Amino acid sequence: MSVKKALISVSDKTGLIPFARRLAAAGVEIISTGGTASLLKEAGVPVIGISEVTGFPEILDGRVKTLHPNIHSGLLAVRDNEAHQKQLEELQIETIDLVVVNLYPFKETIAKPDVTFEEAIENIDIGGPTMLRSAAKNHAFVSVVVDAADYETVATEIETSKDTTLETRRRLAAKVFRHTAAYDALISRYLSEQVGELLPESFTVTYEKAQDLRYGENPHQRAAFYREPLAGTASIAYAEQLHGKELSYNNINDADAALAIVREFSEPAVVAIKHSNPCGVGIGTTIREAYQKAYEADAVSIFGGIVAANRTIDRDTALAMKEIFLEIILAPDFTEEALEVLTEKKNLRLLRIPTLNEALVKENHFRVAPVAGGALVQDYDLKQLEEAEVRVVTDRQPTEEEMEQLKFAWKVVKHVKSNAILLAKDNMTVGVGAGQMNRVGSAKIAIEQAKDLAKGSVLASDAFFPMSDTVEAAAEAGITAIIQPGGSVRDQESIDACNRFGIAMIFTGTRHFKH
């Protein structure tokens, strides 16, 4: 067997001319269509027009050109099947040994902010995926290329042996079906959104590999990092690494958690993360002040942590950050002076996300969480306090300062693993209790961490109090105001306890579990 005839029809023409010239020099006849054929002819590469093979013109503005028995019979015929070969001879159809196709740019089209529905539809490729699937199905005999990165391997093997190896053809066929599956997933998602089918009977998602990782959560686990094709750029998936060693699985997971919190704030804010939970969050009039508050919130846990800021890191802030061991600092930007300071630390990763303060999650995008044998799909938790049904349920109203601290605490507690209790004071977190099996346990951890700072602080809880024990613990610590969703059948017990201790309490009507 040898590659004698190739069909080339590509939207992305990167690297095509050198590749086609190598094929022609190796004696491969090239069939082509439309713009691809014109480009090859201009480059001096001999080309057979698709109509010469089909005996039929390209019609309907190019919608129909390769959908023809002369093409697909040439691709799908089993070469060592005598009946197939006899039918080809009778019908005077020649086999096609190599298909080089990439598809209409559907993803790029729908990513445009002003795209029309009609434009999106016209960029759904029909003939391309059909040829790819035909060739990939018959990969025992046909080579199929969908990625310019494979041009070198295919050309070299043909030049050396006049054909590709079966191993190469199998690898390329697998890539084709991954490619067409991803392409169809984007189309189905787009059309489902257009008709309001947000959680349809089948839910297909696709991701594109950003990088391989050294390992997963632990060294014995394999891992890679993928990005969502149409996600916003205000994410770790699109961060530019300016300095430091390669990111790990846990780095990426924690950095994502830091970004989720810091985006809650419009004022200068800094978030320190350990194991996906905030260990310190601060806001201030400057990013330097915000960092100092985040540091003082838990000067022990921030060591070895990940820090996210929503303002450019300047030299003064960089000098403060340099004093301790941090894994990652991420921000919209760094001044040149800040980079000079921070790049002195060899392993410190510096990530720049210029769009950090922009919205990340588009409307009707969902979070997918795999479970054994399936997946859970839900909206992102984007609800703000301004959208909640806030009401004071105690005799005492919170003061203006308490209200500001309660709002601050509420923005952070939604990002703490449940059961979550968070104490805040002076625009910083002072105690965080996360992931305990009961709520009063989380409260005791937060109070113990806060020590003397608990007195005069406010408390936020991600879910209701099932009984009054958390209020009693708060009162003993000197906490003056509480914000929580409410909704327990025993809410009145907590309200009565707050009234007894002179604590102001707000119900939001919104729960923020995070598991």
Helix 439-450 with 469-477: angle, nearest 10 deg: 10
Could you tell me the CA-to-CA distances from 299 to 320, 331, 357 in Å, in that order? 12, 21, 26
CB 432 within 8 A of CB 294: no
CB 243 within 8 A of CB 339: yes
DSSP string, 79-101: TT-HHHHHHHHHHT-----EEEE
The count of other CB atoms within 10 Å of the CB of residue 359 is 11
CB 441 within 8 A of CB 297: no
Q: Which of 435, 447, 489 is nearest to 471 (CA)?
A: 447
Strands (E), 68-175: 98-102, 143-145
Catalytic residue among 13, 137, 322, 383: 137
- Beta strand 366-371 with 374-379 is antiparallel
Catalytic residue among 4, 275, 322, 383: 275
Residues contacting residue 290 through CB under 8 Å, at least 6 positions apart: 267, 268, 269, 270, 282, 283, 284, 309, 311
Backbone angles phi, psi at 427, to 5 degrees: 65, 35
What tokens does 339 get? 């980079």
Q: Which residues of 428-437 are buried (b: 16+ CB within 10 A; e: fewer)?
A: bbbbbbbbbe
DSSP string, 254-316: HHHHHHHHHTT-SSSEEEEEETTEEEEEEE-SSHHHHHHHHHHH-TTTTTTEEEEESS-B-HH
CB 126 within 8 A of CB 67: yes
Residues contacting residue 332 through CB under 8 Å, at least 6 positions apart: 309, 310, 311, 312, 352, 353, 354, 355, 356, 357
Q: Is 5 a catalytic residue?
A: no
What tokens does 441 get? 């346990």
CB 170 within 8 A of CB 144: no
Q: Is 275 a catalytic residue?
A: yes
Type of residue at 319: L
| Catalytic sites, residue numbers | 137, 275
